[in-house]
Amino acid sequence: MNSKKESAERRGAMTVISYVILGLAVILVAYPILFLIFTSLKTSQEFYVNLFGIPRDFQWANYPRAWNTGHLGMYFMNSVVVTVASVLLTVVFSALGGYALGKMNIPRSELIIMAFMTFNFIPGIAIYISLYTMMAKFRMLGSYFALIAPYTAWQIPFSMYIFKKFFETVPMDIIESSRIDGCSELRTFRSVVLPLITPALATVVVFNFINNWGELMWAQITTASSINMKTLTVGLLNFKTEMGVEWGQYSAGLCLVTVPLLLLFGYFQKYFIAGLTQGAVKG
């Protein structure tokens, strides 16, 4: 009887400890986001005298001011165009490549995917000079293409690897049945196989969106001579008003960077976690 009581007490203590650790983890993750939101609703004067507290007077006007005065509206739309286009191109090319390497009996497919993966280990800064020279030679600087093309190329190898591993888990009987029914390879890919790998698709979309949306160095280099092509991250780096840096408006701009990422992850969360779990088991 005593052993059962001691066991129950240990379980209760472990439950309390688990909740305490979980609570601390939530605070560590949530507080920076709350701090950013609170700061975006303060004046610069209140920012200095009430740094960590809740705003005394909520300055909702910081958001439209940052959007208009700081040109963040234009920068936001540039980031949307560049990120959405590059993610779509990456998904299309890497999914087709992953399907070909995973299901079409291409000789030495593992060697091919490993060759692609080696490009992920090349630091981006090592190719910026040559890439910038090439873009300048072809007069592509100051255009969306100067951002979309590199972003797409950089994300294809790892995305293709994820798709290949998931395509390999799809039974060949399904694909063979589709071929016997007269479906072309492209239709088999689009209508039969692609719906089966939704977790992989969500994983690739989330990873690529986060990487491209928050990329700074190449965006700053390629848009240095064109203010109208700057992305949101570059615009925030140089954010100033007539009064200098207004911390409330600056934080409002940071919220504009953060919110799309939170919304995207919230929408794809179920598929994203399933993709990571299945990838860990099957990879």
pLDDT in tens, 154-177: 999 999 998 988 888 888 888 888
In a domain, 78, yes or no: yes
Q: What's the chain's average pLDDT?
A: 82
- Distance of alpha carbon 122 from alpha carbon 239, whole angstroms: 31
Tens digit of pLDDT for each residue in 174-212? 888 887 877 787 888 888 888 888 888 888 998 899 899
In a domain, 245, yes or no: no
In a domain, 202, yes or no: yes
Ramachandran angles phi, psi of 140, nearest 5°: -105, -10
- Distance of alpha carbon 277 from alpha carbon 183, whole angstroms: 32
pLDDT score of 283? 42
Q: Give Cβ neighbours of residue 159 (< 8 Å, ≥ 6 apart).
A: 90, 91, 94, 95, 98, 204, 207, 208
Helix (H, G, I), strand (E, B), or coil: what is residue 94?
helix
Output the CA torsion 71→75→81→82 (10° steps): 160
pLDDT at 11 over 80: no
- Distance of alpha carbon 195 from alpha carbon 223, whole angstroms: 38
In a domain, 260, yes or no: no
Q: Give the structural domain span for 175.
A: 71-238
Domain CATH code at residue 219: 1.10.3720.10
In a domain, 1, yes or no: no
Q: In the chain, how many domains are there?
A: 1
Q: How many CB atoms lie within 10 A of CB 72?
A: 24
Structure tokens at 168: 């390999």
- Kindly state the helix (H) or strand (E) to which residue 1 belongs, with its residue range: none
pLDDT score of 43? 85
Tens digit of pLDDT for each residue in 210-266? 899 988 889 998 888 788 888 988 888 877 655 567 888 888 888 888 888 888 777
Q: Helices H, strands E: what count in the chain?
A: 13, 0
Tell me if 214 sits within 8 A of 257, measured CB to CB: yes
In a domain, 159, yes or no: yes
Tell me if 180 sits within 8 A of 174, measured CB to CB: no
User: How many residues does the structure list for the chain?
Assistant: 283
Helix (H, G, I), strand (E, B), or coil: what is residue 142?
coil
In a domain, 178, yes or no: yes
In a domain, 52, yes or no: no
